[in-house]
Structure 1
Amino acid sequence: MISKENIIKRFIGYVTIDTESDPTSNTTPSTAKQWDLANKLAEELKAIGMSDVSIDENAYIMATLPSNVSHKTPTIGFIAHFDTSPDFTGANINPQIIEQYNGKDIVLNEAENIILSPDYFEDLHQYKGQTLITTDGTTLLGADDKAGITEIVSAMEYLINHPEIKHGTIKVGFTPDEEIGRGAHKFDVEKFGADWAYTMDGSQIGELEYENFNAAGAVVKIKGKIVHPGYAKGKMINSMYIAQEFINSLPRIETPEHTEDYQGFFHLSSIKGEVEETVLQYIIRDHDFGHFEARKAVMENLTIELNEQYGWDVISIEIKDQYFNMREKIEPVMHIVDIAEEAMKQLHIEPIIKPIRGGTDGSQLSYKGLPCPNIFAGGHNFHGRYEYVPVESMIKATEVICKIAEITSKNQNK
């Protein structure tokens, strides 16, 4: 049995270390504080008995659990990231443990009247009677993806302590800066040496994903002209009004709050504006590559149209691709998804196979030659004050890792 107490202790030990990443930084990792957990993880992997533990100059951590069978088996890997999202503060996290959750409202912060309610977050209903770990309402929790790290380390420790469970060679990898889209940028796939891997970075119990968004980021800059407002007639050009025109020209219902499943979107994530210049930050997402390319074209054509309307280059746009749908790389090796699905079924977990409305390290790794589907880590409501994780889900995810290793060891063909 996976120890519930050890899972809780390990997870809280990780989340109370601030590892928020920074998209404005050019270093890897993007914040120095990520080293605090990275170094701790490297030492912990050594302490539990892992081999070939390494941490490179960019804080990428790798380790090996040698095979305990005599025949040749595929080498598999498990990967998670240790940074947390810059969308919400990860400093001074104060986790709360809710034993035997009663299915009612959870007061996260009485002073600020912050409530985690099943009336709004309906997924809570399925965890009645379980142990939940929540925030105190003032920070995120960091289950994305410290739950995944907890599960991988705990699974390796369990396999080391239970040699009767047969497995082939297992590789472990932990990355920085996944939350800002750079988690796999400097990941050395050749050094890792796995035939395939799984990211433990999904949400609710049972999730198994091998499709994700195609993704791009767009920076739209609108120029204006500032003059004294008392003498502005015919002279002032207010960039913020033109920005509003650009925003309103995109399909209003094709935004995150109006889309689901395979539906793509344009997401305005940031506005910084003054009369002289306004800068819009967008992310563009779509599972279908043709639709993805069309979305980028819509924004580029809108820029051209508005520039023609105003008679000069009032708007400029820069679009950069970020990652692509890993389905193309997974479908030729679908047996790796089948193994994960079988592992869940053997553990009486109902697999939930669906597309990721986001991205994971696994997407970029798949395009770098390491096919890498995504498995649930158990958390909910990532990147904000309402984040929580059921401990029982983390235990089940740990068991899934062990079971995948066991099933794969019976497959003597790569």
Structure 2
Amino acid sequence: MQAALERFLKYVTYDTASAYEAQDYPSTPNQKSFAQMLAQECRQLGLRDVKVDDYGYLTATLHATPGYEGAPAIGFLAHMDTSPDLSGANVRPRVVANYDGGDITLDPEQGIVLSPGRYPSLTAYVGQTLVVTDGKTLLGADDKAGIAAIMEAMAHLLAHPEIAHGKIRIGFTPDEEVGNGVKYFDAQGFGVDFGYTLDGGALGEFEYENFNAAQARVSVKGVSSHPGSAKDVMVNAALIAAEYAMALPQGETPANTQGYEGFYHLRAQSGTVERAQLTYILRDFEQDGLQRRKAMMLEVAKRLNARYGEGTVAVELQDQYANMAQRLEEHPQVKHLALEAMAQLGVTPVVMPIRGGTDGAMLSTRPDGFPCPNLFTGGHNAHGRYEYLVAESLEMAAKVICRIVHLAAQAD
């Protein structure tokens, strides 16, 4: 399945960064162009029912092996967009064969180095093949590695009809990185019993629980005046916004938390004397914990309004997604298939919580959705210039897909 790497190297050359606050869907037109290219590739492979809808969702079908039409229908999903946090344009991937365990210079002019001293995960891949950036952009393994693994698995199954499987559906989504990946996705029309997202990291990672999530927009109104005559007149919205940020628990930020610890994350801020705005995302594995964080956001606003005047600070809260753990507990076979597939392939499962969310997390908790945990792809250090992919892990991800569908058909 070495072609998985070739697919990946092709896919990352497409700039598909999504955009925050965009009014269009998808948020950037390049995502839909990428979907059209992938659709053509699906048709060339021999997949059926290939469609790119008006929202940019690409779906396709691999029909069941004759005699296995009664096996569970399984979906495999990945997202086409890359994070807008760093440029995804003009990505120039570099393949590092037989990695020696040392520093990898990404950009010699800027002195940008991918080092195991800073990223110790590298030490696990000595002797393997890595794909790195040129230090100027992200790589796009999140989540074009997932797309490559799914496409390679479909190609393998089509080339080997002796591998029995039920109906398989693939789905590639836009705008996952900005929280809207399945906003318009027709989950019922997708027509599966359960699914898996390929949107994970290191070899063996398997995730079926995730954060409960909300977004908070904090708006601050000030009063501008000439600074020379501002005493008892000026109300500086930018300073009040800074005061608001510092009033939240400083130890509960992404840089200070791990594992099952939740956080408040200041994603963006802007401001002048007259007006300021803070945008937060709130995350907690427990629903009670998320409610506590939302209450804290409102409490800080209340305290500041008592000091500066009612209406100075306003907080708008919006729930985003929920923990999929309960839904997966109701469907244990979905977890069992993935764990058994990895075990048969000699992969040690690494069960861990998602410190974020996936399209699958949203689909798992939607009333019209389906159980959809998350599988590894071999990507590391997403959303930045130090992102890298392990080619052998990518190939194994494609093999795990093939083994899952075969096990599901046999179990039926």
TM-score normalised by length of structure 1: 0.97
Whole-angstrom CA distance in 1 between matches of 2:344 and 2:47:
27
| Partner AA of 2:215 in structure 1 | G
The 5 A counterparts of 1:3-402 are: 4=2, 6-71=3-68, 72-368=70-366, 369-402=369-402
Q: CA deviation at 1:311?
A: 2.9
Q: CA deviation at 1:305?
A: 1.7
1:285 counterpart SS class: strand
Identity %: 48
Structure 2 contact 16–81 (Cα < 8 Å) conserved: yes
Q: CA deviation at 1:24?
A: 1.7
Structure 2 contact 100–126 (Cα < 8 Å) conserved: yes
Whole-angstrom CA distance in 2 between matches of 1:310 and 1:232:
15
Unaligned 5+ segments in structure 1 are none
1:185 counterpart SS class: coil
| Partner AA of 1:376 in structure 2 | F
2:199 counterpart SS class: strand
1:202 counterpart SS class: coil
Whole-angstrom CA distance in 2 between matches of 1:301 and 1:374:
35
Whole-angstrom CA distance in 1 between matches of 2:25 and 2:236:
38
Map Cα deviations across residues 40-94 of structure 1 (whole Å, 9 max, x no partner). 1101001001011111111101111111141421111100000000111101101
Map Cα deviations across residues 348-398 of structure 1 (whole Å, 9 max, x no partner). 100011110000000111123211000001100000100000100100000
Q: CA deviation at 1:222?
A: 1.1
Structure 2 contact 5–395 (Cα < 8 Å) conserved: no
Whole-angstrom CA distance in 1 between matches of 2:32 and 2:287:
36
| Partner AA of 2:32 in structure 1 | W
2:267 counterpart SS class: strand
1:252 counterpart SS class: coil
Structure 1 contact 148–201 (Cα < 8 Å) conserved: yes
Structure 1 contact 74–411 (Cα < 8 Å) conserved: no
| Partner AA of 1:80 in structure 2 | A
Map Cα deviations across residues 232-265 of structure 1 (whole Å, 9 max, x no partner). 1111111122112211111110111111111000
Whole-angstrom CA distance in 2 between matches of 1:306 and 1:197:
46
| Partner AA of 2:289 in structure 1 | H
Equivalenced residues, count: 409
| Partner AA of 1:56 in structure 2 | D
Whole-angstrom CA distance in 1 between matches of 2:184 and 2:237:
38
2:282 counterpart SS class: strand
